[in-house]
Amino acid sequence: MADEAAKKTSSIKSTKTARKVRDFVRTMYMRAHQAKAEGRPVAYCMMASGYDEILLAMDITPVWTENYAGLCAAKREAEQYLVRAEADGYSNVVCGYVRTGLGFDAMRKEQGGMPAGAPDGGMPQPDLLLGSSCTCDPRYKWYQAMGRYTDAPLFCHDVVIPSVDAYYKKVTPYYIDYQVKQFRELIRWLEERTGKKMDYDKLREHVKIGDKTAMVWWEVDQLRKAIPSPMPSQDHFNIFVPGVFRFGEQPTLEFYQELYAEIKERVDHKIGVIEDEKYRLMWGGGLPPWHTMWMFNHFESMGAVFAIENAYMHWEPRHIPEGIDDPVEHIATRNYRLMTNNFEEAQKNSGDPTVEKLLKLARDYSIDGMVMHGSRSCRAMTIGQMHSNATIQKHVDLPFLGLISDIVDLRDYSEAQWRMQIDSFMETVKARKNTLRQAQGERK
Amino acid sequence: MNSKRLSHLEELYRNRSRRAQELRWKGQKVVGYFCCHPPLEIMTALDLVPYRITGDVHEPITKADSYLETIMCPFVRSSFDLAVKGRYDFLDGLVVPHTCDTIQRIYPIWTDHKNPEFSHFINVPHMLQSTSYEFYKKEMEVFVENLEKYTGKTLSTDRLAQEIALHNQNRALLRQLADLKKANPPLISGAEMTKVMTVITALPPQEAKELLKEIIKEVKERRDGPKKQPVRLLVYGCEISDSAFPELVEKSGANIVIDDLGMGTRSYWEDVAVTDDLLEGLARRYLEIRCPRTFRARSGTRRDDMENRFGHIGRFIRDFNVNGVILYIIRYCDTHEIDVPDVIEYVHDMGLPVLHIEDDYSLGTQGQLGTRIQAFLETIAQG
């Protein structure tokens, strides 16, 4: 791949709709600054915690601090914040998002205003901090640590998920009940802090929009089974932004409807991501390397397209509850179902829900090879990748590449090493595909 | 380590799993568990032998590298490495609490590779809201049901109450032993205390109780205990289950007089309250263990928040007349790593120096650590 392309951190997008995401992001930070200027409450938030529609219904403007760290990484502006957090004593093995966020807040406090050159005008000073134990430990420890930079009140929301060998019929009712009570406690806390009562009709409306959005998004992913692939993973890592950071809003629903129309047209006219699609790959897990997204285009230069991925959402119709009128119960049930996706299948088959999902994706999307990304500072999304891959190999022969860097921190990343690993992996993918083709030819 | 009884401790320490293996040969079931969060009373009330899983700092991690990523807690990697090498083949069962991301994620990997006869995962909430206690109690009820199915026995309230009383007695004995470190010089060293903890977490509680009583008696009577050193230390951190590190510290010129560690005061400082519904008391006690993995809600000023989170460290510092603190953090332990700057600030505010060590749970760093520790202790001694 050309050196000029390598200098770019971002990937080249295939879909028109994906190119609109940058505006969504800009608007997100603009709205947060505007809310702050107008005295409306601004909350630092953790993505995928399930409280999106609750915040919308209470007119609280979220700032998704993980998104901001990713944005800084994509713009290669994160290092100054990482270094600042480390100067305050945070280890360089702590989550790259956390260090970026803490470093940013440290600099804002130190400088008495927004750090110079902060991407998208920086994050406004929060009035509220809403941590979450969903997915990983740093997501509630981060805002606790922020006590050194801000006096903003803090609520941490607990999200519990049973183990895959749990007896679901037994545990599901009290797991969901705990989530419902957690959300009610959050609402009570927000009402106290903002002096504003929850508007449950408004909440119900946002939940309806959220449900519809999830389903349109699911339909987009169904279209992606087509050969040639109409939308690659690097586009997914853009188009997930509205669905994760502006979930429950009408413009978000419209965004996915537009995306659906575009992908449908591409499928109908057999318009692929690249002209000659030879290999279909799957992003098997791990957060994307935001600092090096051009890597996806490097695969494309060898005829390989990432047809599907296992990161960020992937709603299914079975996640959406029916017949629950209470919007809080609805949200809690929906989230629980998403978090326990494929658990029952795993009990019957491989014993591992991630493996179940990956096997299904590999079948449905005609996958020739799988790539995962281990992040040095992200335990939650990295531990288990080797195990998942080993378990998958018991079921199917699927070439595997495990890349390692960090979600944000570039200091341990070697571009040359990645290129060698990718090239060698692609040789394996090609050899396997040739063998399969030969075998098919002999059978005919 | 010259007195007779403590020599016996040494022997038990060196052959930590022998008693559990003997009991297994006699027909008892041995259940391995991680951390200080699983409710041991429930296990022993059903005649199981709980055995706390540790790694081994003397054993290089070799086999686990084929199964586990290197960016995760080396204590857990070391423990799993031992399991793959067969060192834990005497365990009939496995109980894993949701202490942290790494411990949570080792559960399916361990059960898949070792396929224990019994396995159970307990979800420990991270929060301390009233609904968190309710949830944790439910988790305990399901734990009881699964254990009853496994053992074929029914948990009786009377037996559980007896076990709560027995485990509380052991906690009281450990606190009594810890109290003997208030003297100057302390009557028992930090390295010995680590051995005591490591040994008793591998014994049935009744045997642990007898051993603790004998140790306390002999520690009080012996005349060859630790020598007085210019520095009295508190050691804070995650998991120290080998005496190598405390020995290194104490040889460098300090007495470790108290700790805030998982295999330390966090396991015994608080009792289980005897409540009408016994599981309620258990849920409360085990949920409130002072590990940074449990979030304590913020209220009041920054100072109030720090006191709420680290007040117990302050009390230890005052009660045990501590004049220096070492933070021994196992690399990749996110909950401890993120708390480090706040703990340092809290201790500094008390006017005490802090040495922060980030280590990889092996002996490979001992030389380098020795130099850093000596320099730290000399600074305090000269101050």
- Please give the pLDDT value at position A7: 56
**pLDDT tens-digit profile of A100-118?**
999 999 999 999 999 999 9
Cβ contact B68–A386 (<8 Å): yes
Cβ contact B345–A151 (<8 Å): no
- Please give the pLDDT value at position B5: 60
Does residue A88 contact residue A42 with C-beta atoms inside 8 Å?
no
Q: Is B133 on the interface with A (CB under 8 A)?
A: no
Share of chain B above pLDDT 70, in %: 98
Q: Which amino acid is at A226?
A: A
The span from the CA of B254 to the CA of B323, in Å, is 10
Cβ contact A352–B129 (<8 Å): no
Cβ contact B295–A140 (<8 Å): yes
Mean model confidence pLDDT for chain A: 94
ipTM of the complex: 0.95
Does residue B49 contact residue B28 with C-beta atoms inside 8 Å?
yes
* Residues forming a β-bridge with B233: B256, B324
Q: Which two tokens stand for residue A383?
A: 């531990």
What is the mean pLDDT of the segment spanning B244-249?
A: 97
In this predicted structure, the answer to whether residue A363 has a pLDDT above a threshold of 90 is yes
**pLDDT tens-digit profile of B291-332?**
999 999 988 899 999 999 999 999 999 999 999 999 999 999
What is the mean pLDDT of the segment spanning A350-364?
A: 96
Cβ contact A182–B341 (<8 Å): no
Q: A321 exposed, middle or buried (CB, 10 Å; 0-12, 13-18, 19+)?
A: middle
- Please give the pLDDT value at position A8: 62
Residue numbers in B near A171 (CB within 8 A)? 142
Cβ contact A162–B342 (<8 Å): no
Cβ contact A165–B119 (<8 Å): yes
CA distance B233 to chain A (A): 21
SS3 content of chain B, % helix, strand, coil (to 5): 50, 10, 35
What is the mean pLDDT of the segment spanning B3-18?
A: 84
Contacts of A112 (CB under 8 A, 6+ apart): none
The span from the CA of B236 to the CA of A272, in Å, is 57
- Please give the pLDDT value at position A9: 67
CA distance B348 to chain A (A): 13
> Which residue in B112, B331, B344 is closest to A351 by CB distance?
B112
Does residue A367 contact residue A282 with C-beta atoms inside 8 Å?
yes
Mean model confidence pLDDT for chain B: 96
Q: Distance of CA A253 to CAs A211, A319, B32, Å?
A: 9, 17, 49
> Which residue in B125, B142, B338 is closest to A145 by CB distance?
B338
Q: Which segments within chain B are labelled E, that is strand?
A: 30-33, 49-52, 93-97, 118-122, 231-237, 254-260, 324-330, 354-359
Dihedral sign for Cα A240, A245, A250, A251, please: negative
- Please give the pLDDT value at position B284: 97
- Please give the pLDDT value at position A11: 77
Nearest chain B alpha carbon to A379 = B72
In this predicted structure, the answer to whether residue B35 has a pLDDT above a threshold of 80 is yes
- Please give the pLDDT value at position A190: 98
Look up tokens 């409450």; give the residue: A41
Share of chain A above pLDDT 70, in %: 98
Nearest chain B alpha carbon to A136 = B101
Give the three-class secondary structure for A370: strand
Contacts of A236 (CB under 8 A, 6+ apart): A309, A312
Band (pLDDT 50/70/90 cuts) for residue B205 is: very high
**pLDDT tens-digit profile of A199-226?**
999 999 999 999 999 999 999 999 999 9
CA distance B291 to chain A (A): 12
Please give the backbone phi and psi of residue A303, each rounded to the nearest 5 degrees, phi first.
85, 15
Give the three-class secondary structure for B233: strand
CA distance A389 to chain B (A): 10
Nearest chain B alpha carbon to A186 = B129
CA distance A344 to chain B (A): 15
Report the candidate in A38, A32, A35, A40 with the shortest Cα–Cα distance to residue A196: A40
The span from the CA of B35 to the CA of B104, in Å, is 11
The span from the CA of A398 to the CA of A385, in Å, is 14
Which strands sit side by side in the sheet containing B30-33, from one edge to the other? B49-52, B30-33, B93-97, B118-122
In this predicted structure, the answer to whether residue B278 has a pLDDT above a threshold of 90 is yes
**pLDDT tens-digit profile of A233-246?**
999 999 999 999 99
Cβ contact A384–B109 (<8 Å): yes
Q: DSSP alpha helices (H): ranges in A195-230? A: 200-223
- Please give the pLDDT value at position A4: 42
The span from the CA of A369 to the CA of A387, in Å, is 17
Does residue B220 contact residue B180 with C-beta atoms inside 8 Å?
yes
- Please give the pLDDT value at position A196: 95
The span from the CA of B365 to the CA of B373, in Å, is 12
Q: Is B307 on the interface with A (CB under 8 A)?
A: no
Look up tokens 């006869």; give the residue: B117
Q: Which of A31-45, A240-254, A398-412 is least confident?
A: A398-412
Q: Is B61 on the interface with A (CB under 8 A)?
A: no
The span from the CA of B331 to the CA of B358, in Å, is 6
Contacts of B309 (CB under 8 A, 6+ apart): B296, B339, B342, B346
pTM equals: 0.95
Q: Which two tokens stand for residue B286?
A: 């085990």
Band (pLDDT 50/70/90 cuts) for residue A3 is: very low
What is the mean pLDDT of the segment spanning B222-232?
A: 94
Which strands sit side by side in the sheet containing B231-237, from one edge to the other? B254-260, B231-237, B324-330, B354-359
Nearest chain B alpha carbon to A129 = B298
